[in-house]
Amino acid sequence: MGLAAGDIGAALRVSFSAAHHVLAKGALFLAIGVSAIAGPRLWPVLIPASVLALGLGGLPFSGGMLAKLALKPQFDNGVLGIFATLSAVASTLLMFHFLRCLVQTAARDREPAASAALMRPWLVLAFATVAVPWILYPTTESGSLLSAVARTTLWAALWPVLLGALLSVWLWRWGDRLPRLPEGDVVVVGEAAIRATAPWGEVIERVYGYLRRWPVAVISLLMVVIVLGAVMLASG
């Protein structure tokens, strides 16, 4: 969008946002394994993971907030801006659900499954996910670090996270009243769709085999040529 509008700095800001997402999502993916070896002391994993997860929703002072600020020039205050805000709310809701699942998964095994030394590299990655965006943000030409911590900027980043948190509380308390998705989510629905369309596949295969016969193919090709010729004559 920025390049289409002639903004030569758009590629740099998008790359900055992508770099943050690579670090954050990679660290959150590894947090699942790290939580399994944390044993009863889950807070050294849960606190950094919470910062990284909510950072994807734009939590103030996180790298995700800076990533969203870097992309903000590509959006306006109209429809695109509304969708960007709704995306922040939805990301926060999803990340609260992830954190809840992380706690539930870790609670199943209270004994460390591997050396706790594996946690140190993960903590370094979690720290880099927050620190690197703050170091690189001035190079994006999206504003100064002082403007990033201004009261209005922080509030604009905070309220979608708060709304996502409220929706999470509602989902935890009354989510059982919503329609239940089958185990496997989209995979189950996809398998059902494949089974429903299987008969059509057999019909299409038979039709395709019929059309591949030499007399039928020749007639079809002649019809295509006649139609194309008629179109060319009509346009001429």
Say how many Å lie between the first and final Cα of the chain, rounded: 39
Confidence at residue 49, expressed as pLDDT on a 0 to 100 scale:
94
Domain of residue 197, residue span: 186-235
- Domain-located, residue 2: no
The percent helix, strand, coil of the chain (3-state, each to 5) is 80, 0, 20
Average pLDDT of the segment spanning 82-88: 90
Kindly state the DSSP code that residue 1 receives in the 8-state scheme. Answer: -
Domain count across the chain: 2
- pLDDT tens across 37-51, in order? 776 678 888 999 999
Report residue 189's pLDDT band, with 50, 70 and 90 as the boundaries. Answer: low
Q: Say yes or no: 124 and 230 in one domain.
A: no
Contact 101, 50 (CB under 8 A): no
Q: Say yes or no: 49 and 150 in one domain.
A: yes
More confident residue, 24 or 234: 24
Q: How far apart are CA 233 and CA 236, in angstroms?
A: 5
- Domain-located, residue 5: no
> How far, rounded to the nearest angstrom, does the alpha carbon of residue 148 sit from its chain's CA centroid?
24
Q: Does the pLDDT value for residue 207 go beyond 80?
A: no
> Two tokens at 133?
């965006």
